[in-house]
Amino acid sequence: MVNAGSELTGITAHEAQDLLSSGQVSSVELTEAVLKRVEEIEPQVHSYITVTQDRALDAARAADEARADGKAEGPLAGIPVMVKDNLSTEGVATTAGSRMLLGYTPPYDAYVVEQFRSGGAVIVGKGNLDEFAMGSSTEHSAFGATRNPWDTDRVPGGSSGGPAAGVAANECFVSLGSDTGGSIRQPAALCGIVGMKPTYGLVSRYGLIAFGSSLDQIGPFSRDVRDAADTLSVISGHDKRDSTSLDTPAQDFTSSLTGDISGMKLGVPREYLVDGMESGVKAAFEKSLETLEGLGATLEEVSLPLTDQALAVYYIIAPSEASANLARYDGFKYGNAVNDVPTAWDVMDQTREQGFGAEVKRRILIGAYALSAGYYDAYYKKAQQVRTLIRQEFAATFENFDALVTPTSPTVAFKAGDRMDDPVAMYLSDVCTIPVNIAGLPAISVPGGISEDLPVGLQFIGPQMGDGTVLRVAHAYEQATEWHRLKPGI
């Protein structure tokens, strides 16, 4: 048997699957090792809101029994995983990082949680996040901030900082996050792991607590691209309960990982080398371009002029949708009600006042203003028109290129607290990721270098339904470099 110590928790999910398949380790041993790791470092990292130890061990025993009966199927069978705490889990508290949902236990699983469970994955717990997924640092959680495993004085990115930090700190093998404007890819970059936002509609949003319904997409975090491909194969597929779910057959995304990108044409959008990009990030990006050329890809600079408008479009559309989605939390139908007040109006006012944090209130106000009479045409309607132009610009570009390559984040992980009082600086963290959500495209961030002893992310963007393409390019780059093998010292 393999020693189920701390070194066991640091391997990839597919390496762990090989150990399970060969009988060198059991799922129970694997899960116990992860739970021990969680107990050891959670006080420093705080990647979890809820750890479901007993449920996890029960699921691990069931996975071992299924394997013994020859019924263990799928790449995640018996593998300990984490899901972001805005994904509904039957019988387990789901908070979305907010006081508004204190005491809420869903009576059903999100689609992706169903897929995990049916595939034999062992859900260890729920990952921390910025409240209602609104943030870029995981400092806006009602349950305390998550810290970056590379340097606990720094943020892990957001809003899916808990699931990203959990994978980076060996507290799970893979995890699920949601990405509305970069909330998977940006924390993946800052934590030195892989994070993928699939094509909009490829993964069902059923059971995801909504932020921006036309932007949200669920995707995987992992330690390498193969694990991301395996996980996407598990969670993708048509779901009639989500009206935006694409009616496409199940795919084996792992088959896309050929390792060969010779002859592929990659565009390098000049607008993504934004003002304020750190010199170390730019240097790492330029080195990555040399690596891609060495693999036989043809690189060519391309212009996407509307990139500069994407941030403004996002911060009209996303808050507008958030304002509409969060209106349901009134203390009557939904929300942790404040009842010790005189009138029904007071119940609604105080429920929202005490239930929502400052960042959520800020975005609700922005959205309510953009949707209000007299301003709808000037802001929301205009933003949707520009969104169409951004989609068309990407589509025209992909007529000539297989994929685009950009930095993921203009900076490495910043110090905790540095941007809490400067929302504009915080919003600029997502300047390289937001256009992808505006257009509904697939994109992946992989480790692409080191700057100031901190990880740098490299982003690949593909056309609609080009998820296999971005996985293929990312995998080839990963196999030609060693960045994904570097680990935080925690």
Q: For residue 71, indicate whether it is catalytic.
A: no
402-421 burial string, b = 16+ CB within 10 Å, else e? bbbbbbbbbbbbbebeebbe
Calculate ∠ Cα 303-182-191, nearest 5°: 110
Of the residues 98, 137, 159, 236, which is catalytic? 159
Q: For residue 84, indicate whether it is catalytic.
A: yes
Among all chains, which residue has been given the structure tokens 């390098």?
A: 268
Looking at residue 47, its pLDDT comes to: 98
Looking at residue 454, its pLDDT comes to: 98
* Sequence-ordered list of residues with C-beta below 8 angstroms from that of 275, at least 6 positions apart, any chain: none
Of the residues 47, 84, 98, 204, which is catalytic? 84
Tokens of 442: 């697939």
Rounded Cα gap, residues 145 and 129, in angstroms: 8
Single-letter amino acid code for the residue at 17: Q
Q: For residue 204, indicate whether it is catalytic.
A: no
Looking at residue 6, its pLDDT comes to: 57
Sheet (strand 265-269) strand order: 48-51, 122-127, 80-84, 174-179, 217-222, 194-197, 443-451, 454-461, 403-407, 265-269, 298-302
Looking at residue 406, its pLDDT comes to: 98
Of the residues 175, 183, 204, 429, which is catalytic? 183
Domains of the chain: 1-490 (3.90.1300.10)
Rounded Cα gap, residues 408 and 200, in angstroms: 19
Q: Residue 166 to residues 156, 159, 175: CA-CA distances in angstroms?
A: 10, 13, 8
pLDDT tens string, the chain, 490 residues long: the values are: 344 445 899 999 999 999 999 999 999 999 999 999 999 999 999 999 999 999 999 999 999 999 999 998 899 999 999 999 999 999 999 999 999 999 999 999 999 999 999 999 999 999 999 999 999 999 999 999 999 999 999 999 999 999 999 999 999 999 999 999 999 999 999 999 999 999 999 999 999 999 999 999 999 999 999 999 999 999 999 999 999 999 998 899 999 999 999 999 999 999 999 988 999 999 999 999 999 999 999 999 999 999 989 999 999 999 999 999 999 999 999 999 999 999 999 999 999 999 999 999 999 999 999 999 889 999 999 999 999 999 999 999 999 999 999 999 999 999 999 888 777 777 677 889 999 999 999 999 999 999 999 999 999 999 999 999 999 999 999 999 999 999 999 9
Looking at residue 418, its pLDDT comes to: 87
0.85 exceeded by pTM? yes
Tokens of 16: 């762990």
